[in-house]
Structure 1
């Protein structure tokens, strides 16, 4: 099967999706071409999936140029299916394939917010988006939460075109990798609790809620005050670390480079904080639960579905007081044994081969195989 994929912002969850899904054996007979801004994407895919498993064709980022170049690329070429990743790519791809006889599958990697459609311009944008979404042959959502969110904002899109498939991760990898020697590297004693933050430095990930929670604990005199270890760069990291400095909390936050071995770093901390404001699907939560490490999670859309039934301690999005209380409780009496007991359940529940096979079945359905 020859699949033409598109992406407009191939970061974070989309890159992880490519890495997890298309490395599965059920796609061994597929040839993938990805029309997307590159920015090191081809090197990432070659490293994790093998050279040219997904051939990247570098695209413009400006919408009109994206449409023009994609139409030009499609002329004279034959594909069995077009698969767009993300709302932006989905809308631009649907415009681009006008006049081509191609089935179009869109994966929704995010959710919609009311703030996106305020005012007259927002209403006009929503109307135009609705018309285009109604033309897409199938829309793949990664949680039931994300499906319901899409239905709420675009109720005129036929329900039969929505295909919810709970995403997954390489659970064996997260279960079996040993912990790193992070504590020794940092020179921290066993009495200091380490909190891992593995999200991007974006408003969606709620990092400042965690900063405010540490400030609350400090103001109450809680000792020993935990230290937060963050990983990676980019986003608003400069602004967020300036925020930490302004609050006088610099000694309680440690910035580490990005890691190529997430399981080892997850297992090296005492707890992971995931204070997200919204998610389409909380992949990090799946990874942490598969690693058997205590998780402090907001109960936001897309994340509450993942942590339901698990031992994760939850709080409302943005509630730094609630998060502070959970950090205190976990520091005073670790719940790690409950997470170790739940780990085999998480490994089976979030195993990647299930969503990979379900998505492949959808591919076959759309091309009539």
Structure 2
């Protein structure tokens, strides 16, 4: 716990279950704090290591922080915008409200009502901004480039995970479910691997609840193809950067995505990406002269097969795209840059 009198920014998390929003807070707040932003979290479901305040501390919001006219409340959900509006407008507490929108769909009337009452709005991508009807600042997510970085020895990185170091590896990471396009990846591999004996594939992620049947069907499909020893379902892992380091190519096959960090995580590890045109993927993956991968239409199996084959069959293109991806993430997508850009929004409201 920290003294709220020393806090200038409150980042609430009013959802107990882990979600993409919660993960963003967990990754971003330590970086913001390290950069000197006086930020604390509020709510359940967050690590105790994060600077935090209690609900009873909110009574202090009637007073200004030292040297500031107000504090900032950074909401990321409707349930976090509404109480902030009540604190500011009904109780006249000295706060201003920032909302980060990651949604790529038309907002409900209720969401529009809340968003119109924000003091500032951040969109996580250009596509997200297109759905907003208020002025906003686009700030793309960044990643921890210290956590995600290339291996010093690719063969050793594969060996540590029990993979054959002589094989090239293509991976698909994330929840195993139809929305994530895991079936498209598996079907692509069933088509591609028989003619490419030097490649194998890895699906890393967990199937939950009703999606377990979907995963079982995919495993059965793989078994019938005779590729069970080369299309591996390795489950969910906490050491996911190690799995990226073992890859030679990454495929992001989603049918829908809010933002999607996996292409950045792969690129930061020096791995080229084939990604569908959902979420922010088209804003992350560069095509053309400084190619880091290819962006294809969503739910298009033939396009996925063709794009993946283009890298599998061209080692020099594969290597060049990996090097370009590494440079692109280090130069433009470090999480510190995201934190500084958000900090500039805070500063504009606290002047």
Which range, TM-score by smaller chain? 0.7 to 0.9
Match among 229, 237, 253 for residue 258 of structure 1: 237
- 2:179 aligned with 1:188: no
Moved more, 88-97 or 339-348: 88-97
Match of 2:267 in 1: 289
Match of 2:76 in 1: 85
Contact 2:98 2:118 in 1 (8 A): yes
Structure 1 residues 321-349: Cα deviation after superposition (integer angstroms, max 9, x where no partner): 21122233332223332124312233112
Match among 189, 192, 197 for residue 214 of structure 1: 189
Contact 2:257 2:279 in 1 (8 A): yes
Mapped to 2, the partners of 1:228 and 1:92 lie a distance apart of: 47
Mapped to 2, the partners of 1:338 and 1:27 lie a distance apart of: 33
Match among 78, 85, 100 for residue 107 of structure 1: 100
Distance 1:8 1:208, change over 3 A: farther
Secondary structure, in 3 states, of the residue corresponding to 1:339? helix
Moved more, 88-97 or 265-274: 88-97
Match among 98, 119, 128 for residue 137 of structure 1: 119
Match among 207, 231, 237 for residue 204 of structure 2: 231
Distance 1:29 1:163, change over 3 A: closer
Q: Which runs of 5+ in 1 are unaligned?
A: 47-52, 58-69, 118-125
Match among 142, 166, 173 for residue 168 of structure 1: 142
Q: CA RMSD in A?
A: 3.0
Match of 1:240 in 2: 214
Structure 1 residues 242-276: Cα deviation after superposition (integer angstroms, max 9, x where no partner): 121342447123214413351x3212012111112
Q: Which residues of 2 match residues 21-100 of structure 1 at below 5 A?
A: 22-24=30-32, 27-35=35-43, 37-38=44-45, 41-42=46-47, 46=49, 53-55=50-52, 73=56, 76-78=59-61, 80-87=71-78, 89-90=80-81, 93-94=84-85, 99-100=90-91
- 2:343 aligned with 1:346: no
Secondary structure, in 3 states, of the residue corresponding to 1:106? strand
Match among 312, 318, 338 for residue 355 of structure 1: 338
- 2:298 aligned with 1:317: yes
Mapped to 2, the partners of 1:339 and 1:204 lie a distance apart of: 27
Secondary structure, in 3 states, of the residue corresponding to 1:22? helix
Mapped to 2, the partners of 1:92 and 1:273 lie a distance apart of: 40
Name the count of aligned residue pairs.
320
Mapped to 2, the partners of 1:259 and 1:293 lie a distance apart of: 19
Q: How far 1:30 sits from its partner (Å)?
A: 1.0
Moved more, 302-311 or 235-244: 235-244
Structure 1 residues 58-105: Cα deviation after superposition (integer angstroms, max 9, x where no partner): xxxxxxxxxxxx7xx575232822111245544565467651333111
Contact 1:14 1:85 in 2 (8 A): no
Mapped to 1, the partners of 2:257 and 2:298 lie a distance apart of: 11
Q: How far 1:280 sits from its partner (Å)?
A: 3.9
Match of 1:271 in 2: 249
**TM-score normalised according to structure 2 size:** 0.78
Mapped to 2, the partners of 1:202 and 1:94 lie a distance apart of: 37
